[in-house]
Chain A
């Protein structure tokens, strides 16, 4: 069904829209910029100290922000595909977070530079004499690998940019047809998203251990991405509400919903993680169990257990409570905790390739995290300080204002 483009009556003037005041905006950008600058300096120092370790540490931090951005992009697409009404304001915040994806193309440069260290198993000369890798050479070869990375990152950047731009256009014009076109694009987008995220996970993370394979691996990365993106959303929601913004569109009911989704995806992550682990453990085939075996050596065992308790059991019990999800400080604590656990999850997937036998945390790891983290914070701060804090003329704004949990 087609509708003539319509302009909502009585739409607020864009110039009069709810924005961060200039001082707050500047302060946010300054703080985030300082973290990013410090992070980048540390990254340079770390690279000079130990280029190989830095490659791994940086990949961990890089994938931490990329997966958060991907989770945010998924959230944006999901709201359109389901025609969600409660989440109008939240969608804008996730559009900010997904803006890390275009930037990630630049952030990927150190990964490309370190690729021969990261993926030396299959990029190095010894791959030619490895009877298993020889069979995979059609997929695992540098040329095709870089081409695929280019496809994934271009796709993610394009989707994130397009949804955010169209949504901002609606702020100006109030055109209902833009909602329809985002809805239409969302369905094929989710398909492309699922495929690119899965193969991206295989290429960037699973191929670190190139003999190992698991069909569920893409879903596992997806689950972690969504949990961590929702954690960032919780921080933004509580932060803006606490600062006195969003009074007209977002209440504790919306915060509660973000908490519920974070809880749901925490359980989903555990379900997927358990499925992967249990089936491999039970069948006990050496070529599969090796991956978990490596993560059960020395202090890696403690990291594995940290994931079990920290990424699932503790947040499950904590977030189960309605009170917690509606309590600002408690939800913030849970969100920060989940972000930390998502980092542990990636660390646990990536670092055992380098630190065989036992985990050896180093300041270089911190550098690898702080650089990308600072850039993510800077991107969010810039987006937050430069535009309206929610989609001003979204046609479902009236619905989001009425939203209550029964």
Chain B
């Protein structure tokens, strides 16, 4: 059943999936005007706290408690509570770090790169995706911070001046990672906050209590919506988008350097940087998808986050998933083509060795299942895309696990070969990060406008200076007669 032809419960014809090249599909449905959009989005924050939200937050915080407990155990006992062994010195810790950092890529891609590419559909999803980015980076940051064991020395990760005799080795990509991730986190927060300012002012102006008025007012930075404010805003946003774009690529490229600068077969391969970036965007979109499908339903945003938005995200997942598949294929081919027996062994071992189950889980989740997105029926089916988004989340976790653990577990010396098994704290800590992530996301949904209200208004027909309310379908093509006559 195609959603394009299905009237929604109100009897309205949803034309968000229309495919007429003479016209762009509407990005806002349901006969909304500026006022109803403000009411809808601000209403989520203003209405009474719902039981559903309280239950959700309770569940998320309970899971977060598992994280707190795991970290407590880790700090109290030492990082020996993880299952890392020799030769598998890196395992679930780095897997979890890279997994979360990867998820943190969709937000900035949506807000910066899609902005530069004039993809107007980004307006309904960028705010939530950017928030998710920040929370994902927070989860990722836990791993480097706590892997030092004595967390009170976590500040040693930072690039200290040499005379303090501390650890930083500037030739190590691990140090570059600290630069890259902290820059990314800073710029992402800044970008997100700048984009929030006009909506915070909206919340301030609508506030009915003194407290709300004051708190939103402080963060709205005195925004009055004057012409000058908007000019400055647009300029600042464009510059931040330009600056964030290389950051989207650099963070995961540098994460990939952590592995690829080494000599280890399975880690050392030149395609790693763009391959990691594609995978990060892939996993980020999957997580945005998982969250937005639920959120859209729970708070009733179907008119603002339309099927077209979801379909576009599915297409990006298909594209990036296939890029990841391309990288798997190239790695395998070149491992064979190199004629290097260590390279060949590493990859054959991945496919048929002790971790073959993980490798094939990865390949099916990341490459095979997402091929279903070739079908429009799948791209526009909520249950199908929800299941697939979770499959991709799982697959991308396995990708990092496969890269890290299978490359390590069979060392150059067969006598040191071993098999990694996670311990309880490995598993509980990773599971707990989801608690932190969902807690933050639920708080965000409750206290900040989930959608960029003013940006959504900007892509509505009424925002077009040439908009005539009476104009129908034919208006776009009406200028057709004018061109075609050339210079003779």
Chain A contact residues, CB within 8 Å of chain B: 1, 3, 8-13, 16-19, 21, 83, 85-86, 132-133, 135-136, 139, 176, 179-180, 187, 191, 194-195, 198, 202, 211, 213-219, 244-245, 247-249, 267, 271-272, 275-276, 278-280, 282-283, 285, 287, 389, 392, 395-399, 401, 406
Contact = CB atoms under 8 A, between A and B. Distances in A.
Contact of A21 (B118, B334, B488): B488
Interface stretch (B85-93, B213-221, B260-268, B383-391): B260-268
Interface in B248-281: 249, 253, 257, 260-263, 268-274
B469 interface: no
Given A180-B19, A216-B274, A271-B274, 4 more contacts: A9-B480, A396-B22, A397-B480, A399-B476
Contacts of A13: 484
A11 B484 contact: yes
Contacts of A1: 2, 4, 17-19
A13 B481 CA distance: 10
A176 B22 contact: yes
A217 B331 CA distance: 11
Contacts of A194: 326
Contacts of B52: none
Interface of B: 2, 4, 17-22, 24, 118, 234, 246, 249, 253, 257, 260-263, 268-274, 322, 326-327, 330-331, 334, 337-340, 374, 476-488
Given A11-B480, A215-B331, A279-B268, A398 B22 contact: yes
Given A198-B330, A213-B337, A279 B260 contact: yes
Contacts of A83: 21
A19 B483 contact: no
A94 B488 CA distance: 23
Contact of A16 (B268, B485, B487): B485
A244 B4 CA distance: 44
B481 A245 contact: no
B257 to A, nearest CB: 7
A375 B246 CA distance: 38
A92 to B, nearest CB: 13
Contacts, number: 142
Given A8-B477, A398-B476, A398-B477, A248 B249 contact: no
Given A176-B22, A398-B22, A12 B484 contact: yes
B337 A202 contact: yes
Given A202-B337, A398-B22, A219 B274 contact: yes
B270 A216 contact: yes
B19 A389 contact: no
Contacts of B331: 215
B339 A136 contact: yes
11 contacts: A12-B483, A12-B484, A18-B484, A21-B488, A180-B21, A194-B326, A216-B274, A275-B272, A396-B21, A398-B22, A398-B477
A18 B487 contact: yes
Which of B4, B118, B488 gathers most chain A CB within 10 Å? B118
B485 A213 contact: no
Nearest to B262: A283
Contacts of A132: 339
Contacts of A187: 374
A271 B273 contact: yes
Instruction: Indicate the member of B249, B261, B331 with the most A CB atoms within 10 Å.
Output: B261
B487 A244 contact: yes
Contacts of B272: 275, 279
A217 B253 CA distance: 16
Given A9-B477, A139-B337, A283-B262, A179 B484 contact: no
A248 B334 contact: no
Contact of A267 (B246, B477, B483): B246
A191 B329 CA distance: 13
Given A12-B484, A218-B330, A179 B21 contact: yes
B270 A276 contact: yes
A215 B334 contact: yes
Contacts of B330: 198, 215, 218
Given A215-B331, A248-B485, A279-B257, A3 B20 contact: yes
Contacts of A215: 269-271, 327, 330-331, 334
B487 A279 contact: no
A271 B483 CA distance: 41
A16 B21 contact: no
B477 A248 contact: no
